[in-house]
Amino acid sequence: MSDQPASLHPQTLVLHGGSYRSDPATGAVAVPIYQTTSYQFQDTGHAERLFALDELGFIYSRVANPTTDAFETRIAAVEGGAAALALASGQAASAYSVLNVAGAGDNIVSSTDLYGGTWALFAATLKHFGVEVRFVDPADPENFRRATDARTRAYYAESLPNPKLEVFPIGEVAAIGRELGVPLIVDNTAAPLTIRPFEHGAAVVVYSATKYIGGHGTSIGGVIIDGGNFPWAEHADRFPTLTQPDPSYHGATWLEKAAPLGPVAYVLRARAVLLRDIGAAVAPQNVFQFIQGLETLPLRVRQHNENAIAVANFLKDRPEVSHVIFPAFQTGENARRAQAYLHGGYGALVGFELKGGKEAGRKFINALKLLYHVANIGDARSLAIHPATTTHSQLSEADQLLTGVTPGYVRLSVGIEYIDDIVNDLTQALEASGA
Ligand SMILES: *Cc1c(COP(=O)(O)O)cnc(C)c1O
């Protein structure tokens, strides 16, 4: 839980939000790396209360750690949520966010526009767990309603999915979910601070902290943030994991267990059951990097967003480029969604199509000198990738087109370098692409 007044701005909360003020043992201001597996109990009564979750404290670092706690309470405050759970990767965060409410025989309804790793998790691995994922086109929010039945446990979507970069209708789908008793989980990895899913009715936000939050390409991690805003008890039949007695906690329900702590049943259960049993615990060393990243996130996001607008405008006028994919350039309903959900910029991802197709894509990438050629986004450095020869190369050309990847498509994750240096590198690589 966050101890800070809700009135502080996110730019302040990244530095001051959450439970950590200074280290209780030493007064250290920077959050120390608590490189320990276990914690001395005061006496047997203390140990008993901790194990029963009647008192919150540290037992064993698989389930909770003071460094991680500082990060979790701070990012919950920044996002405007009630509590958070940090995990070993973004993949663990998306998997746990679903498995926390869905089991064998249940289903979730997901947007088709997903990160490749999430797509594989949903289309194949969750199926092996007996969880059905119903994929629907987010162009029409009503598709979510049509796919919902009594065993639907959640809606899932990415706020700003690439390669299409069409903003998800968060408010529209969250409203349908609230009508039917289904929480919306939003992966906001591509647009922290720029998109604020809880303000539009999302119930849960997940991040790959690997990307903008870490921000420097050093560490893999993820986080689940509980908005504390979903009325689980009103839809008790839909959420047995939260409303039915859990034998591993003396038959208490997670709603009852969480009640003294606030509206945090969802994320408390994810920690006390999924993290305890499946164990995708994040290393405190990595959490330290995420804390450093979070502290400057607003500054970096501002520069990323500003540079991306400049890069998109530059590309639009280039003779080698047939089409620039960027939320600012969309029309119709997609433009309305970009306007409604993006604030202070359009994110740092810019896609473009080279007239010369696949061969031009290869030449462009190979000519880059400043931009890195990597399968990542959200680094402070500018990054580029040619999906047709890398991330999407296993798909047939027809399937690539369905996901929005044309042969000449290049994705940029625009960094925070001096803008002229980025543009100069793009210029010489475009000239070398022969398009
Ligand atoms: C990278 C990414 C993930 C997965 O995160 P990892 O930290 O790599 O496990 C999930 N969603 C999106 C949108 C991503 O970009």
Q: Check: CB of residue 4 under 8 Å from CB of residue 22.
A: no
Instruction: Give the Å distance between the CA of 5 and the centre of ligand 1.
Output: 31
Residue 7 in this model has a pLDDT that exceeds 90: no
| Atom of ligand 1 minimally distant from the CA of 378 | 15
pLDDT at 423 over 60: yes
- What is the pTM (predicted TM-score) of this model? 0.97
| Cβ of 211 below 6 Å from ligand 1 | yes
The pLDDT of residue 4: 52
418 backbone dihedrals φ, ψ, rounded to 5°: -65, 130
Query: How much is the pLDDT for 104?
Result: 98
Contact residues for 331 (Cβ-Cβ < 8 A; gap 6+): none
| pLDDT grade for 3, boundaries at 50, 70 and 90 | low
Q: Based on the number of CB atoms within 10 Å of its own CB, is 343 exposed (0-12), middle (13-18) or buried (19 or more)?
A: middle
pLDDT surpassing 90 at residue 397 = no
Q: Cβ(34) to ligand 1 under 6 A?
A: no
Distances (CA, A) of 117 to 79, 373, 402: 24, 19, 17
Domains plus CATH for the chain?
10-285 (3.40.640.10), 298-433 (3.90.1150.10)
411 C-beta closer than 6 A to ligand 1: no
Ligand 1 near 122 CB (within 6 A): no
Sheet of strand 383-385, all strands in order from the earlier edge strand to the far edge: 321-325, 349-354, 409-413, 383-385, 372-373
Residue 1 has pLDDT above 80, yes or no: no
**Is residue 231 classed as helix, strand or coil in its secondary structure?**
coil
Average pLDDT over residues 140-166: 97
The closest of 398, 429, 406, 425 to 358, measured between CA atoms, is 406
| Cα separation, 236 vs 241, whole angstroms | 9
Task: Report CA torsion sign: 327, 218, 29, 34.
Answer: positive
Residue nearest to atom 2 of ligand 1 (CA): 208
pLDDT tens for each residue of 300-311:
999 999 999 999
392 lines ligand 1 (CB under 6 A): no
Percent of the chain whose predicted confidence (pLDDT) is above 70: 98
- 294-318 average pLDDT score: 98
Residue-wise pLDDT tens digits, 215-224: 999 999 999 9
- Nearest ligand 1 atom to alpha carbon 190: 13
pLDDT digits (tens, 9 = 90+) for 355-388: 999 999 999 999 999 999 999 999 999 999 999 8
Kind of pairing, strands 222-226 and 83-87?
antiparallel
